[in-house]
Each structure stands twice: as C-alpha cells, then as structure tokens.
Amino acid sequence: MKEILFTVLLVLNISVFAQTKKYPEPETDTITLSRDLDDIVVTANRDKVKRTETPIAIASISAKTINDTKATTIDQLVNKVSGVYMVNLGNEQHSMGIRQPLGTRAVFMYLEDGIPIRTSGVFNHNALMEMNMAAVRKIEVVKGPSSSLYGGEAIGGAVNFITQSGTTEPMARISIQGNDIGYKRMDLQTGFSSGKFKANVSGYYAARNGGFLPYSDFSKFIITARADYAFSKKTNWENSFTTMNYTSDMSGGVDSIQYVRKSFTSQHTFTWRNTNVSRFRSTLSHEWNDLAKTSFSGVIRTNTLDMNASFRVRDDFRPQNNSGKKELAHGEISVNRFNSYVLIAQHRQEIKKIKTVIIAGGTIDYSPNTQAANYIKIKKDTILNRYVSYEDRKDSMLTDYRNHILNYAGFINLEFSPLKNLKVVGALRYDVFRYGFNNNLAPSAFSGSADTTNSFQAFAPKVGFTYNLKKNRGIYANYSRGFVPPQVGELYRGVKVPDLSPSIFDNYEIGGWAAIVSNKLSFDVSLYRLEGNNTIISVRFDDGTFGNANAGRTLSQGIELGMTAYPFRTLQIRFSGAYSKHEFVAYIEGNERQRTTTDFSGKQINSAPQFIANGEVTYTPEFIKGFRLLAEWQIMSSYFMDPANLFKYEGFHVVNLRAGYNLSHSKNRFLKGAEIWLNVINALDAYYAVNSSRSAFGRNYTLGEPRNINVGVSYDVGKIFRK
C-alpha cells in the first residue's frame, strides 16, 4: 500500500511537470559543512542572520553535504559537527551527546523549521526518528543553551531541520537503496512552482528484515507535504503536514559475556515499539516594509507511543543477596499519548538610526498527555539467558493518568552595533509551566501520586558579542542560561509529589574563526564552561523514604575545533573534534531497594568520552564530472560506564567509505536525472559498542553495525521535461 501511494504521487507530479511551459534557473545551495563566512542561519535568533554576526557556536549541514553523504540515519550527518555525537541505537532509535554526556536526559531541543517537534515535559530521546529525512534541505546545530529563544530542554544544544519548499524547477526524484544486513528504503522527493504557489511532497519507506541482530526488524513510513502561497511580495502563507507510522522490535543490548564472545544475539524475543505521529504547521508572515516583519504560526501535533520496552524488563532474581526466581522477570506494556495545540507570534523590527534589530514574540502550548501501563509476567530461559514469553495481566494496571500540560512564554532578542565591526546581542525568555495531574488509580509507588496541580517558572537570559576583524577573522563571547522543567515521569512516579524546580544550566563561552591562505584553510574554535544546578536526582530523605529532588550539580567544560582545507581544487579535507570533561560537582544518588545512598561528588560522569572526532577527505576529480569519493574516520575515546568510575569502555574507531556518481552533466537527456552511489559503513569491520553502561544487573552493550555495503540509485523524472 505504501509503495502504491508513492507511485501515485509520482505520477501526479509528472503530470504537473508535463504541463509546465517555462522552467526558471534552479536555485543552488553551495554552503558546505565548514564555516562559510557568508553563511546565513536562522536558528541563531529565529530569523535570517549572517553566521559571523551570531555569538554562539553554530554549524550548518548543507543540502550538498546531505546529498553526498546519502545517510540512512541522521547520526551519519550530525556527527560531522564538532562536539556532537548522536548514538545510533538501531532502526533510527538514538540518544544524543552535545556538550553533555551521551544519554537519554531531556537536555536537547529538536526543531523543524524553528518549531519544537514535541512539547516540553514529555521529552523522548528517540524524538529524531520522527523526522522526515527526505524532506530536509538543511540542518543547523546550535551548541550550548538556547532556552532564551526556544524554551526548556535546549541545554546541550538545539538541532533545527529546515524543510524543502517547492523547487523553482519541477522535480520528481525517486530513490531506491539497500544494504547487505537487511536494510531497504525507497524515497520520493517532488516539488514545483507555479506563479504564486509552491509545493513539495517528500517521504520514504524504510524497513529491515533479517538484520545482523535477531529480533531487530522494523518499518517506517513517513511523508511530508508542504505548500507555500504568496498573496503578494510581502505576504506569504506556509503550510506543512507530516505523518509517520513506525514499528520496531527492541532487541536491547548484550551482557558482558556475550560482548566478549562477540555474540550478535539478543536476550529479547518479543519487545517492540510502535509510534504514530502527525504534525501540522501553518505560518502567515507579512513584511510591513523593509524594516518590519510579523509572523503567526499555528501548530497541531498528535503523538502515540505504544511499547513493550526491553529497558523495562527486570529479573526477579537478585544476585546481590541470592533472592528471587531465576526463571521469572517483570515488565510492562504501555501507551503514551499527547496532543498539542500551539500558537506562536513573532515580530521583527529594525531601527536603522541606532543600528538595532528587535525580535520579540510569545508562544502558548497546550498539550494534554495520557499514560497507561499494564504489568506483564515474563518467562526467562536461564540456559539460553533469553526472555522467551510473557503473560499480559490486563487486569493489573501499573499506571493510568492524564496530565494537562500548559506552557506559555514571552521572548525578546535585541541586536545592536555600537561600532562598525562589533555586534552586541541580548535575549531573554520567561516561561511558565502548569501541570494538571489526574490519576485514575489509587496512589502508589507504581501508579503515581494523587491528583494535583504544579506550576513552574523560569527566566532564560543570554548576552554576547561578535567582533569581525579584518581579512575574514573574528571572535565572539557569550553567557547564556538554559533550563529543564521537571519531566512528568519525575514528578508523579511515586506516592508523594516532590518539590522540584527546573534544572538550571549556566554557559560561559568564547570562540573565534578565521579563513587564511587565500581562503584555502578555514577553522573555528570554541571554549565553553557549562555549570548545571538543581539537577534532578534520586535521593534518600530524612524520613527514610526515597524520591526525586533538586540535589545535583554538574560541570561540563571543553574545547571544540572545526577545520576545513582545500589543498587542491578537487580535494577537501575536513576535521571536527572536541575535548571535554564532564564531572559531578555534588551528586548523591539513592538506591530505593537497598535504602542506601552513594556520594559521587568529584567523579567523572558516566558515558562521557573526553575526546570525540570526525575527519573526512572528499575527492571530486575534474576528469569525471559528477564523481565523488569520500573517506570518513569517526573516533571516540574511552569513558566510564558507571558513576562510581569503576568500569571503563575502551572506545572505538570506525571508517566509512562513500562513492557516488551524478550524471547531471550527461549530454543524454534521459541520463541527466540519474545518480548512483555505494557506501561502505564500518569498512574495517570494527567490533564495537555504540552505547555501554553498568548497573546492579551487570554490564550492558549496544552493538554497533558490522561492515555493511549500501547501494542506491535515484532518478529525477522531472529532468526529462526540462528544456
């Protein structure tokens, strides 16, 4: 059915192209991942601004980089940015590390065209699997707190996916690809313009069957339709709709014995994750004159996550005291839903006499959220060390609640230039959160607290400057504050509602950039210190009970370097690296079962490698126009697997090779729309874990993909009809 829908959309677009009589010259995108001093970015201040006038660390991943990489997962793109490592947990599931340890905490903001794809308070570390890679034109990555503009959870960084609008030339590209470890995918990208109207429909269907791990199948169908209409040169109306259906096995990780034996196996035989998502955005913008612009956006989101999670499976047997049954385990089947209704207003005003730009606005987000979970009794095969079956106790509900989440905020961003090459930027945002919790079950440690209402407020300021020196050189500095509102699961999981405040993060940063040797060598560098306060952790209270509290302080600091060199016209060398240190300043963790506490103050934070780097060499020979060769090297240093710093993971090196041939230069009309590529991922067949941890249950490793070869071909049918 999904393949049929793709075909119908393709035929419809071809029919439109055949009727189009005039084809204007296509718009080109020449921005590369390296710092182009003329880059225009939009994530820095919610409007278009030169990269050299933004006092933050921000990187752009251009349309050219996206096309040349032919990524099957988003991590293959964002990991090219210095200081960024997105963990591929398989089947587009992931966790993230940007100026923070690798993990699943709510310290990152994910945006689509500048609007968060989820509501604050119900963060999901897998949120980026809800993105449509086929519809993305450009990716911007902001490193460091961005709460002054985008609100809660934008602590380590914000990743903004900018979608493709209708193309000036008609385009209907279909792509097919697959690899030798069970992955297959078909993309459709279409677009055209006609007078005041522009449209684009893009999507893909991906699936894995019989992968390198058992019980790791998945399928994903996602499609985005975008339509823009220009009422006049000054008034524009954008509409975008995305829908996704995703289902996946959850194979989980392997234990230390399996990892040492290089056993590509899974303990889980029945766990799964199903996600259904829809997003609709409508934005009306009007330019009053050359100095003033106003926009209004309305957003509706629906999101359902149904899962029998592998990470919820717990053995009944406790090796610490030799108690419990070895053949028994416990788990749950849960359904989490939320709907969102969002309004955003924004105005930009330039005052030329005093060289000042003001961007101000407000947002309101109402998102009712429900959660229901049933207990399941699991049978474990102790010989094979595998969970083989379960009994669904539908009459044994663990959780059943409804939470009304309301977030409203106001923000202002001020930019002025007191000197010719100096720009000073200040921003401030004030957020209010209101949670209305209704528990349909009797309060307990499983079902959660009694009905209650909680409110939180947070200020997020930012101030900084950029100074452009002569000959393509510049420096910047900033102070920014970010915050994370208490998540729903942190507030209402126990019988008592803890008195929590938003976690606060203060960031101090300096940096600079330069292009030298006739612009053949460019680099940028940033140094940061990120202090976390009121981190929410599990502690033991004076009355002997355990719960969540604002009792933690953390410190993350490091240096990030990005460099690009063009020794020859046909050769590009890129390097992105970061050296950082993440530590607990004050952190006391409580063990709810053993009723004890452990002080980790002064320890390094677990899952926090000190060195991450990505280097790439790109060769585009002149004697074969359209041909490219890329060699990429991903490096991760060792890190501690536990907060006590007793166990270490050794890190890894992975090499990826890519080759592609675009036939757009062909004189043959029917070959001009073709492109072929071959990617060898993990070319040296390194055996490694993308994620590793240790708990009371032992060590756990999530295996990285072995060497695999991905082959693909695409064809733009629209080029047949172009003159």
Longest dimension (CA), the chain: 81
Q: Hey, is 253 helix, strand or coil? A: coil
Alpha carbons 284 and 298: distance in angstroms, whole number:
9
> Residue 357 has which token pair?
């730009």
- Which residue has tokens 């890894």? 652
Provide mean pLDDT across the span 52-68. Answer: 92
Instruction: Count CA atoms closer than 13 A to 37's CA, side-chain side.
Output: 18
Alpha carbons 563 and 574: distance in angstroms, whole number:
6
**What φ, ψ does residue 168 adopt, rounded to 5°?**
-70, -35
DSSP code, position 99: S
Inform me whether the pLDDT recorded for 33 exceeds 80: no
* CATH architecture entry for 2-721: Beta Barrel (2.40)
Inform me whether the pLDDT recorded for 558 exceeds 90: yes
Inform me whether the pLDDT recorded for 159 exceeds 80: yes
- The residue among 164, 132, 166, 232 whose CA lies nearest residue 16 is 166
Q: For 254-268, write each residue's pLDDT tens digit.
A: 888 889 988 888 889
Per-residue pLDDT, 323:
86
Q: For 222-261, write each residue's pLDDT tens digit.
A: 999 999 999 999 999 999 999 999 999 998 888 888 899 8
Alpha carbons 630 and 636: distance in angstroms, whole number:
20
Alpha carbons 562 and 564: distance in angstroms, whole number:
7
Provide mean pLDDT across the span 507-518. Answer: 92
Alpha carbons 188 and 266: distance in angstroms, whole number:
34
Instruction: Count CA atoms closer than 13 A to 536's CA, side-chain side.
Output: 20
> Residue 175 has which token pair?
């792509």
Alpha carbons 39 and 305: distance in angstroms, whole number:
38
Assess contact for 173 and 204: CB atoms under 8 A.
Answer: no
Q: For 692-712, write each residue's pLDDT tens digit.
A: 988 777 888 999 999 999 999
Element (H, E) at 619: strand 611-619
DSSP 440-495: SS--BTTTB--SEEEEEEEEEEEEEEEEEETTTEEEEEEEEEEEEPPPHHHHSSSS
The rounded radius of gyration (Å) of the Cα atoms in the chain is: 26
Domain ranges of the chain: 2-721
